[in-house]
Amino acid sequence: MINKNEKGFALVLSLILLLVMSLMGGALIVISSGDHQSNNTSDQYQQAFYVAETGLLEGEKKIINQFLGPWTQKNDISGPGELATEDETNAHDLYLNSLTADEGGDVRHTNDRSLPRNQINAIDTNCFKSFRNIKRADFQVTHHVVNQNFGKLIEPIFETPGEVDPLTTGDVKVMEKLTKEKEYLKRFRYEFFSVNIGSAPYLGTGSSIKKTSNNSQSLGTAYKIYACGIMVAQGTELDDYDGEEEIIIPLETVMVMPN
């Protein structure tokens, strides 16, 4: 005999189970979405960190290039002038002949080499403001380079020669993936500035008799290099981003050059 009080119980139970399963499904979707967003954010911070390291390397290269002599074309090196003596003209010609050009035809102008000095007023960017240990009033630097597009810097990596190039073979999926990745990396910028912080011990290395890896020289100039890896808002113009940063990762390092 069926109890009249049990009529409709199966329907109510089904609705309760459906509600519980819906809530569980919604919770799983929210958790999964949150994890995905968290992973994306973590990847963006990691990429910005790598871009900041690139800024440090570029800052070191800037100092080394000035120390060794700037790259230029032979034709751009000014001569001794019309009033120069024959010996001065011959010395200049010998100097030009001694310079070795690289693949692009540039030569290192060794007569114009120098140790960078603090002669430039720092630019008050958001990257500059990220370093709390800097006294900003009348702060001078040796170099301050801003708004360097990381995507543009590594763009040649995406260019593969010959038949393997997806842009020439017509592999649409690969082409779309590469194009998307290139556009994504263009959202990352780096900025760096360096400061001459004075004398410091310089440790020379080499295999000669006079200088070994254990020789320590007291004559050296230390430079502190500051750099930021920056991720800008999507759709930001390439030549202007200040105030549109979504992520800024500041890093700093010290290098010592021999005098």
161 and 182 fall within a common domain: yes
Give yes or no: residues 78 and 65 share one domain: no
Q: 56 and 77 in one domain?
A: no
For residue 108, which amino acid is it? R
Q: 72 pLDDT exceeds 70?
A: yes
Q: Write the single-letter amino acid at 41.
A: T
CA dist., res. 172 & res. 166, Å (int): 8
Residue 229 forms beta bridges with which residues? 190, 249
Q: What's the sign of the alpha-carbon dihedral 121, 125, 127, 130?
A: positive
Q: Which of 89, 112, 135 is the last residue of a domain?
A: 112
For 153, the token pair is 């810097």
Q: What is the pLDDT of residue 70?
A: 85
How far apart are the C-alpha atoms of 230 and 147, rounded to whole Å?
A: 9
Identify whether residues 204 and 78 lie together within a single domain: no
> For 127-160, what is each residue's pLDDT tens digit?
999 998 888 788 999 999 998 999 888 888 776 5
Same domain for 19 and 86?
no
Q: Which domain holds residue 128?
A: 9-69+114-258
Q: Which of 144, 190, 154 is nearest to 48 (CA)?
A: 190
SS3 211: coil
Q: Which are the contacts of 134, defined by CB distance < 8 A and separation ≥ 6?
A: 128, 226
Q: Is residue 3 part of a domain?
A: no
Least confident of 64-73, 163-172, 225-234: 163-172
* Token reading at 248: 């800024």
Helices (H), the chain: 9-68, 86-98, 126-129, 150-153, 166-169, 172-185
Do 198 and 219 have their domain in common? Answer: yes
Mean pLDDT of 14-34: 74
pTM: 0.72
Chosen domain end from 112, 144, 169: 112
Examine residue 1 and state whether it is found in any structural domain, yes or no: no
Looking at the structure, tell me whether residues 102 and 222 fall in a common domain: no
In terms of pLDDT, which residue wins out, 91 or 234?
91
